[in-house]
Amino acid sequence: MNLDSNDIEIEEVLYRYFRKELSADESTEVEVWSGSSPENQQVFDEARLLFLDMKGLSYYKNLELQDVDQSWEVFKKENKVRSIHEAPSSSFNLLRYAASVIVIIGAVVGVYYYQNQVEEIKIASVGEVQELTLPDGSLISLNENASLEYQEPFQNNERRVVLSGDAYFEVAKMEKHPFVIEVDDAEVRVLGTKFYIDQPEANSLSVQVEEGRVLISYKDLHQIIETGQTLTLDMAGEELLETEDETGISSFWKTRRLVFQVTSIEDVVNVVNEAYGKSIQLEGSTEGCSLTVTFDNESIENVLEIISSTLNYELINNGDSYILKGNGCQ
């Protein structure tokens, strides 16, 4: 092997050297050649840079890292790299130019890759309601013990998130980028709207649309939910049912509002127990007792005082539990 021969494709010899494909004697000859003059050393160093950047370029072209030979051929073809016997008389000018170009390309690609790294985001709400704003401007409220996962930036022209638990969505309108919520094996797809997602129990999902409309999908089931509608998905039975939430219990965690319209005292107590997480028991007669009232951001103490005074019940406070004693409302 004669590195001084114009008939030798020197850049490919050096490439094979960095690939560790030369014999021990050939590798020694390359090293002796590179150290024989400052000019040769510069060519050697530039070729090494070229090889390292070619490995990086092979990744960004979605080539396997071990197939650097394919990367080399692609690079030569796309950048019109000529062998040394085809080059101008000033030795290695083209190689030096190619090395400079590939370093610039590598830097640009590196910056692009850095700026477009996908980050997995997970936000969990523990012990309290948590408000957050997504990169697209959508506003999300997570109920206690709920969590939301998404990729930043969003991928594939979709704004896709994964929800566990209850949440309220105020989705920024972007018609070319649908907003998709994954809940177990179901999907809720919107363009821009306001709605609640409630998971009252396992294999159950309730969607209450406050503004706009959404599309819910589960296996072969697909249905649009309009403003003011509430739809409950029974995953076990694979059916969608239109339901009503007359008291507002499903969204109480966010609105702090309960509405009762001629509601029996038994139902009132059940709803208040669920909303406030308290233990309220009824003692005595409840015959004929019903309530029409709206509780708006009231404490549990105020709620029970209003109930007891309206229905003439005795309220007993045992600390973490309460008793309402009555003689009926006939």
* 20/111 same-domain check: yes
Cα 8 from Cα 192, distance rounded (Å): 64
Identify whether residues 223 and 281 lie together within a single domain: no
- Same structural domain for residues 181 and 288? no
In a domain, residue 318? The reply is yes
Same domain, yes or no: 172 and 239: yes
Q: 226: closest CA among 242, 202, 205?
A: 242
In this structure, the answer to whether residues 311 and 292 fall within a common structural domain is yes
Residue 26's pLDDT band (cuts 50, 70, 90): confident
Which of 89, 115, 141 is at the close of a domain? 115
pLDDT of 65 > 80? The answer is no
Residue 101 pLDDT greater than 70, yes or no: no
Residues 277-312 pLDDT 10s? 999 999 999 999 999 999 999 999 999 999 999 999
What mean pLDDT comes out for the span 47-52? 70
Structure-token pair, residue 36: 């024989």
CA 50 – CA 110 distance, rounded (Å): 15
The SS3 of residue 125 is coil
- Kindly give, in sequence order, each residue whose CB lies less than 8 Å from that of residue 3, ignoring residues fewer than 6 positions away: 10, 13, 29, 30, 33
Q: Which domain holds residue 86?
A: 10-115
Q: What average pLDDT does range 146-160 have in this prediction?
A: 93
Nearest to 68, CA basis, from 5, 12, 122? 12
Q: Domains in the chain: how many in total?
A: 3
Is the pLDDT higher at 216 or at 113? 216
Same structural domain, 159 and 218: yes
Rg of the chain taking only CA atoms, in angstroms:
35
143/196 same-domain check = yes
**Last residue in a domain, options 243, 267, 289:** 243
Q: Is 251 part of any domain?
A: no
Query: pLDDT band at residue 127, thresholds of 50, 70 and 90?
Result: confident
User: pLDDT band for position 81 (50/70/90)?
Assistant: very low
Residue 86 contacts by C-beta under 8 Å, 6 or more apart in sequence? none
Mean pLDDT of the chain: 81
**Residue 23's pLDDT band (cuts 50, 70, 90):** confident
Decide which of 308 and 27 is more confident: 308
What would the two tokens of residue 165 be? Answer: 């638990």
Q: Give me the CATH number covering residue 140.
A: 2.60.120.1440
